A and B are shown apart, each in its own frame.
Chain A
Amino acid sequence: MVYFIIRRILQIIPVIIGVTLLLFILLYIIPEDPAQLILQKGATPEALANLRAKMGIDQPIYVQYWRYIKGLFSGNLGTSYRYQRSVNSILAEHYPYSIKLAFAAIIIEIIIGIFAGIISAIKKYSIWDVLVTISTTILVCVPVYWLGMILQVTFGLKLGWLPMSGYGDGSIRYYILPAVTLASVSTAFVARMMRSTMLEALSNDYITTAYAKGLSQFKVIGKHAMKNALIPVVTLIGLDLGSLMGGAILTETVFNWPGVGRTIYLAILQRDAPVVVGGTVILVGIFIIMNLIVDIIYAWLDPRIRFEKVEPNI
């Protein structure tokens, strides 16, 4: 198990290198001069050249890249062109907002998704099942930003129950709309997957065994079927958490949420390459780490994966 974890952590390195290389090349192709960007219009050619030399962007791309990688592994993500601040501090400032939002969304996803999935599996073909099927289909089809705006208009503008956007004082009211929007598609997927894995689990022979032992329906479903049915769902939720934590660009933009997704979005608009690359690197890193955590939970849930070697039969 330890070996497994170490191996997985080492696997992060080539992925990070690949991602940064790709982004570097893409950003290098964009014919924009960062020095121009920083000094604005009307700067003298000498001043521009000076700045370029100071920033090191007059060097060939591989030199720049090497310097970046060296910085990266010592924990330095560079300096923002736009704000003249270290990317680390910019991301550190915005990340907590994204993470809080991601957790709010995941909680919605877990509670509503799993619950709806179980209900529709247990009450197969009932009105509840039909309701879950229809609403999940709609949620999957609707674009996120559209849903976000509809919610803003309905609950924020018309009914005035909830704030339309922003982080406000950070109270729970501000979280509801963006979290619901962010969770919508994943909740639908979780509900659907939960329904099918639950149905699959319930059709197994060990369920009959469990009933034959005299266990209650609650215990049969809640213990025997649940643990089996959860295995694929946990994977889905874990991967989701990984991608949500990277900041949800659309949702954060629509709701003007001060998270890292919106920061990256703004950085793209402003051609602020260090912020884009730095943000993406962290995003990828988190995604991979979440993946690893999912794999560990997975191994805990399913003992058949836990042991790579199966003991000989006696």
Chain B
Amino acid sequence: MPQNNKILEVKNLKTYFYTDDGIVKAVDGVSFDLKELETLGIVGETGSGKSVTALSILRLIPQPPGKIVDGEILFKGQNILDMNIKELQDFRGNRISMIFQDPMTSLNPVFTIGNQLMEAILAHQTITKKQAREKSFQLLEMVGIPDIKRRFNSYPHEFSGGMRQRVMIAMAIANNPDILIADEPTTALDVTIQAQILELMHELKEKTKSSIIIITHDLGVVAKYANRVMVMYAGKPVEFSEVDKIFYKPCHPYTIGLMRSITRLDQERKNVLKPIEGSPPSLIDLPIGCIFRVRCEFAVKQCSLSYPELLEVSPGHYSACFRANELFAGFKNLDFLKTKK
């Protein structure tokens, strides 16, 4: 169960990309916190800024063109954005580590799995090569790689996608990090493998007593594994709450749209899959007023005048919508969205 002490706090994070076409405000004022032993989901469409948020936490934004222009990222009170290069290197992969989307490309094709795994260990632990090797074997066993002795000397191309992601996970937990950030860890994998990988991460989290930030566009994943969830749209958080609450009573039209667009096996035929109309705005020229306005079926006049702040609709449940309270009070026709966890 998640504890109450915050291990990570992100405050008003702004990450911009300076391109030839203009400034892309990929992340524009994101704030959230992560508690010990908690799993936090960050949900949104492609281009909503969820991956950039994750990369910003470890300062992995390619610079140029990207730049973190404002905000604070506090890990146990220490601002990551103030760290010098040396501190940052000690920190990355040690206190916070990361799993990426595509295990096909995120492992280096010209080094063995063992080499890359040992490298992760030796970057932070002063032990001998032999000990690191032993440790690697243990890690590979933990993530369920068969025939470890032989596999240790294999190259990534000799592994399937699921197995490579297991290796990535082994690398990520090599130094017992406090936080594991998983950036769409299963998007590139087959459906059956997805479930295995997610289960594995969940198990390891329990074992290693770490917190997880899982970035996904899949609300199903969030429903199953996350404690709290932040929904992002066009670089901004639009709704933030405990998973139960958000699934029980989504208070932002975008979240409502996302829920409608997922297939549900127990759903009656009349509520057929309904995609959200339109596409996300260009992040270069954001419209004045609510960013979701052009796609919102609840839009009112006020929505085009100013941007709605992220406000608490009920304890611990935040929404950035002028009509959040009305949504909370209940549109009867939204009842079908209720989900059992």
Name A residues whose Cβ lies closer than 8 Å to a Cβ of B: 204-206, 208-217, 224, 227-228, 231, 301-304, 307, 310-311, 313-314
Contact = CB atoms under 8 A, between A and B. Distances in A.
A147 to B, nearest CB: 36
B93 A213 contact: yes
Nearest to B92: A214
Given A213-B171, A303-B110, A208 B100 contact: yes
Contacts of A304: 109, 155, 157
Contacts of B85: 217
A118 B110 CA distance: 19
Contacts of A206: 105-109
Contact of B60 (A211, A216, A313): A211
B158 interface: yes
A302 B110 contact: yes
A212 B102 contact: no
A222 B272 CA distance: 54
Given A205-B106, A211-B92, A303-B157, 6 more contacts: A209-B108, A211-B60, A213-B93, A214-B94, A215-B123, A302-B110
Interface of B: 55, 58, 60, 85, 89-94, 97-98, 100, 102, 105-112, 119-120, 123-124, 146-147, 154-155, 157-160, 163, 168, 171
18 contacts: A205-B100, A206-B105, A206-B108, A208-B106, A209-B98, A209-B168, A210-B108, A212-B98, A213-B92, A213-B171, A214-B90, A214-B92, A214-B120, A215-B123, A224-B108, A227-B111, A313-B163, A314-B163
A314 to B, nearest CB: 6
Nearest to B102: A205
A289 B105 CA distance: 34
A214 B89 contact: yes
A302 B155 CA distance: 10
Contacts of B108: 206, 209-210, 224, 227-228
B160 A314 contact: yes
Contacts of B146: 314
A209 B99 CA distance: 8
A174 B273 CA distance: 80
Contacts of B111: 224, 227
Contact of A313 (B58, B91, B160): B160
B88 to A, nearest CB: 8
A228 B110 contact: yes
Nearest to A217: B85
B100 A209 contact: yes
Contacts of A231: 110
Contacts of B102: 205
A231 B109 CA distance: 12
Given A206-B107, A208-B106, A227-B111, A313 B89 contact: no
Contact of A310 (B60, B100, B158): B158
Nearest to B117: A213
Contacts of A213: 92-93, 97, 119-120, 123, 171
B158 A311 contact: yes
Contacts of B119: 213, 215
A313 B92 CA distance: 31
Contacts of A209: 98, 100, 106-108, 168, 171
Contacts of A208: 55, 60, 100, 106
Nearest to B168: A209
Nearest to B110: A227
Nearest to B146: A314
B89 A215 contact: yes
A212 B97 contact: yes
A214 B100 contact: no
A308 to B, nearest CB: 13
Nearest to B61: A208
Contacts of A302: 109-110
A211 B61 CA distance: 11
A216 B106 contact: no
Given A209-B106, A209-B107, A214 B93 contact: yes
Contacts of B109: 206, 228, 302-304
A216 B91 CA distance: 12
Contacts of A214: 89-94, 120, 123-124
